[in-house]
């Protein structure tokens, strides 16, 4: 029974972590689906979303002192939900505008250039955002003030579910349903799907390709901002380089699920998150099963958790380059 509880606990932790990867991966996969290039500045948009939430949270606590906020929240959850919604919505709007600005300034003039040119530009934008953030706010980590009191949810027996984990999973589900409705049930969503198949035909049919591309950047950037807020609620420390590793892992998740496929990005993110937590949770068992790991990782197999993403990427590229839900596309010469 104890092993079952341990597995369920690690699975829950993995789903919480994988939800973050999935939200970030959606930005990669939507941009690739429309423009066929990887926006490597997307991880830094996620970072700036966390900083936008940091600024809005500080503004809220200036209006409502922390002790007064905590006193009110003990009697009702309404202030908690309202403040969290305001912070998340504000950060999403900020990053949506930022995403559109990046597309218009950096990527749109290069739309007819070789993809390598755009790729190098994306790396340049990433470095620019990182260094500008360090210049204005400093390189030191910042403590993100608590929005949701982190405590264990009662009534689940030996299974520990934190309020922050529940908020991450529920928020991710809500955002996924919203994204699904936008893509599948709206005209702009239809235009996005059509543009991913044949941009020339869309233009001939009267679709404003520039508007659709800008909307895609706005939507993907807003989801990245939501991921930044959710991470800050669970691990209340943010820094200008926080988007590097998380962005790469989300990119791996998008490739794993099939780059350009929305469902694949979600599945890929969840798989990466669960694999990482299982490695940490069963580190002792892995060392016992494979003694050589003790010599490779003398301080513990948990060091291997960050390498999991890159190992998965190598395996996928070797055996199924298109990913789980990806399809082989034939190009005419």
Q: Where are the domains of the chain?
A: 2-319
How many Å apart are CA 29 and CA 263, to the nearest integer? 10
- Two tokens, residue 131: 């260094």
Query: Which tokens hold the place of 125?
Result: 């934008």
pLDDT, mean of residues 96-104: 95
| Predicted TM-score (pTM) of this structure | 0.88
- Judged by average pLDDT, the poorest of 22-31, 70-79, 111-120 is 70-79
Backbone φ and ψ of 76, nearest 5°: -150, 145
Q: What is the pLDDT of residue 217?
A: 94
Enter the DSSP assignment of 107: I
Residues 223-277: pLDDT tens digits? Answer: 999 999 999 888 878 999 999 988 999 999 999 998 888 889 999 999 999 888 8
Q: Which of 86-100, 251-265, 297-311 has the highest mean pLDDT?
A: 86-100
How many CA atoms within 13 Å lie on the side-chain side of 23? 32
149 pLDDT more than 80: no
Q: What is the mean pLDDT of residues 305-310?
A: 77
Angle at 82 between CA 79 and CA 87, to 5 degrees: 120
Residue 333, pLDDT score: 47
Q: What is the DSSP string of 190-223?
A: HHHHHHHH-HHHHHHTT--HHHHHHHHHHHHHHH
Q: pLDDT band at residue 218, thresholds of 50, 70 and 90?
A: very high
Closest listed residue to residue 134, CA positions, set 51, 240, 226, 212: 240
Say if CB 17 and CB 276 are below 8 A apart: yes
Quote the pLDDT of residue 288: 67
Confidence of residue 299 (pLDDT cuts 50, 70, 90): low
> How much of the chain, in percent, has pLDDT values that exceed 70?
85
Least confident of 45-49, 97-101, 213-217, 302-306: 302-306
Q: How far is 53 from 89, CA to CA, in rounded Å?
A: 9
Are the CB atoms for 23 and 224 separated by under 8 Å? yes
pLDDT reported for residue 145 = 79
d(CA 77, CA 293): 47
The reported pLDDT for the residue numbered 148 is 77
What residues contact 108, with CB distance under 8 A and at least 6 apart?
A: 210, 213
Q: 197 and 261 in contact (C-beta within 8 Å)? A: no
**Joined tokens for residue 138:** 């400093």
Backbone angles phi, psi at 162, to 5 degrees: -80, 150
CATH 1.10.3470 matches 2-319: yes
Distances (CA, A) of 178 to 23, 118, 168, 223, 304: 12, 30, 15, 11, 35
Mean pLDDT score of the chain: 84
Strands annotated E in the chain:
142-143, 237-238
């Amino acid at each position: 029974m104890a092993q079952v509880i341990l597995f369920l606990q690690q699975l829950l932790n993995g789903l919480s972590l994988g939800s973050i990867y999935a939200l970030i991966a959606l930005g990669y996969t939507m941009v690739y689906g429309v423009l066929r290039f990887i926006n490597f500045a997307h991880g830094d948009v996620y970072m700036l979303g966390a900083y936008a939430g940091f600024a809005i949270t500080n503004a809220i606590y200036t209006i409502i002192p922390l002790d007064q906020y905590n006193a009110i929240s003990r009697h009702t959850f309404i202030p908690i939900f309202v403040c969290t919604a305001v912070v998340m919505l504000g950060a999403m709007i900020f990053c949506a505008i930022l995403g559109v600005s990046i597309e218009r300034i950096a990527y749109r003039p290069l739309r007819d250039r070789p993809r390598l040119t755009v790729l190098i530009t994306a790396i340049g934008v990433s470095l620019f955002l990182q260094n500008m953030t360090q210049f204005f706010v400093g390189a030191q980590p910042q403590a993100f003030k608590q929005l949701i009191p982190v405590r264990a949810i009662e009534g689940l027996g030996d299974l520990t579910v934190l309020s922050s984990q529940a908020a991450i999973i529920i928020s991710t589900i809500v955002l996924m349903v919203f994204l699904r409705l936008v893509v599948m049930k709206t005209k702009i969503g239809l235009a996005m799907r059509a543009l991913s198949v044949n941009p020339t035909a869309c233009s001939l049919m009267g679709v404003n390709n520039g508007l659709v591309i800008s909307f895609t950047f706005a939507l993907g950037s807003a989801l990245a901002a939501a991921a930044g807020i959710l991470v800050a609620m669970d691990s209340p420390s943010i820094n200008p380089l926080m988007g590097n590793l998380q962005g790469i892992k989300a990119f791996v998740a998008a490739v794993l699920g099939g780059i350009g496929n929305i469902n694949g990005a979600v599945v890929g993110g969840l798989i990466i998150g669960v694999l990482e937590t299982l490695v940490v949770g069963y580190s002792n068992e892995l060392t016992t099963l494979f003694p050589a790991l003790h010599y490779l990782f003398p301080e513990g197999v948990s060091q291997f958790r960050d390498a999991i993403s890159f190992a998965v990427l190598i395996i996928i590229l070797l055996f199924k380059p298109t990913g789980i839900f990806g399809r082989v596309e034939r190009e005419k010469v």
